[in-house]
Structure 1
């Protein structure tokens, strides 16, 4: 293995295993770049990112510029004289002078099997679409949106039990292994980059809170995947009518298929265990949460909320 002088650029938990693996492999991480500290949590206290905290704990200097587009930031980056930069869910666009500065370029740890799911939310979109597998692509970055040539790939199956959280962790671990291997191959001259095919390109659009709204007019399989894909962020929900004539927003944390449920109009409550009719079939909401209360199973929710079988929820 050739010991390399590296810059690491990442922000969330997903990136931490890759940084840890690079340190463990004996590379010299001379600087970490991360998003600036921001308010987070219930108290909205300003907090450094997971990568920021991990890097500082390992004695690595951290920079948190709000942009890399100005000449001063680009000169500071180039002055690090890195062999390569490793980028994992960093959150800032790298302008061409930054991409060109390291001797071996900038390598991205991307959470999909490119060219499928370029963009911001590949983990969630792969589950939501019903893909059979996804994975990690180590990519040589260029100026496009996840369009660079591919160095290494590894696949992870998506099963009926896969959630955004479990897939996130599996891909983060896989990315850590692959980035070390990719750097070894690149430094040794044994790994050649392969251009992405032009067929099969899809885009993983950034998620918003409204993506979590459950639409009972969709197929039951889609609604069930939506809960697995969008928990914990942005979270899934529906509005339930209250006895006072208003609505209450109910979070849905877990759901499962309800294949034996009787047919009914989409949005109909079918039983006392919170099975809800969809466009075809039904889903059972197995863990839900009212505002300000603890999560409970569907039956317990219905014991405290007047929503008897036959009630209708908004279909969209």
Structure 2
């Protein structure tokens, strides 16, 4: 089929590659415009842009799809369907109706649970035992469209958002290829969501990234792994009168008792409201992530110290 692909970050790349490998004619790839990124803030093409160019596909980078001229360009592609994966722009109704069979989205949750911007992070932060991917026909409502295909992934006790992200990215690519094949055969059936069961995955904010050791250990652990590797949960470390922010990239539950934030041993086990968490991987400001023992060798942090 003639397919328009619309996506931007790393999460969308496997889907682009899979749709191309399945033999579909990708008539255009829409992605976010090049923007500053990295430490040097050099202007870079998005991951999807880079991969599309490597495949020799035509790339479009509109700032918006609201203008009549841009909508006309979209319709002129005469596509059978559009595939959307974390594109980052609102799709007006004229765009949603601008292909023969509609627009289909890879959403990283088991809809209607976790509609919205941060479904992967929110699932882990809430302590969900499973997540998954839903292939949805896009409508005007926020992630409210009928679901065409769904599959599940177990969330392990120490799984981070980054690990779940990678698993769902691959799963979503496979499911989208299956949906397009069924669509091409004229056999695709999509099921309306039960809006009464909907939960919302609000965008992450800076205010919620600080670790609160006064919460139960399980909640602290979920908070840490749900924000790893980005944006990263953090605590403050005071050394020689200076305060440093330290991000935590990995943790596991441990037994132990103490005042919230108290360091209980030489393995970076920290007391919470009940129980404790052991920090397995941390990142100091301006440095790469490191294992707990390497971190402890570089700081003056005796047992009994308090992490803020």
Deviates further, 305-314 or 193-202: 305-314
Partner of residue 247 from structure 1, selected from 237, 243, 248:
243
* Structure 1 counterpart of 2:150: 153
* Structure 2 counterpart of 1:166: 163
* Structure 1 counterpart of 2:271: 277
CA contact (8 A) 1:112 1:122 kept: yes
TM-score after normalising by structure 2: 0.96
Cα distance in structure 2, aligned partners of 1:37 and 1:208: 24
Return closer, same or farther for 1:72/1:207 CA change in 2, 3 Å cut-off. Answer: same
Gaps of at least 5 residues in structure 1 are none
TM-score after normalising by structure 1: 0.93
Q: Say which SS state the counterpart of residue 68 (structure 1) adopts.
A: coil
Partner of residue 196 from structure 2, selected from 196, 199, 204:
199
Q: Say which SS state the counterpart of residue 50 (structure 2) adopts.
A: helix
**C-alpha deviation, 1:90, in angstroms:** 0.3
CA contact (8 A) 1:302 1:308 kept: no
* Structure 1 counterpart of 2:258: 264
C-alpha RMSD of matched pairs (Å) = 1.5
List, as ranges, runs of 4+ consecutive aligned residues in structure 1 with deviation greater than 4 Å: none
Cα offsets for 1:119-171 (capped at 9, x unmatched)? 11111111111111111111010011100011111111111132222211111
Gaps of at least 5 residues in structure 2 are none
Partner of residue 92 from structure 2, selected from 92, 95, 103:
95
* Structure 1 counterpart of 2:306: 312
Cα distance in structure 2, aligned partners of 1:128 and 1:167: 12
Cα distance in structure 1, aligned partners of 2:89 and 2:120: 19
Cα distance in structure 2, aligned partners of 1:292 and 1:17: 30
Figure out how many residues of one structure are paired with residues of the other and give that number: 308
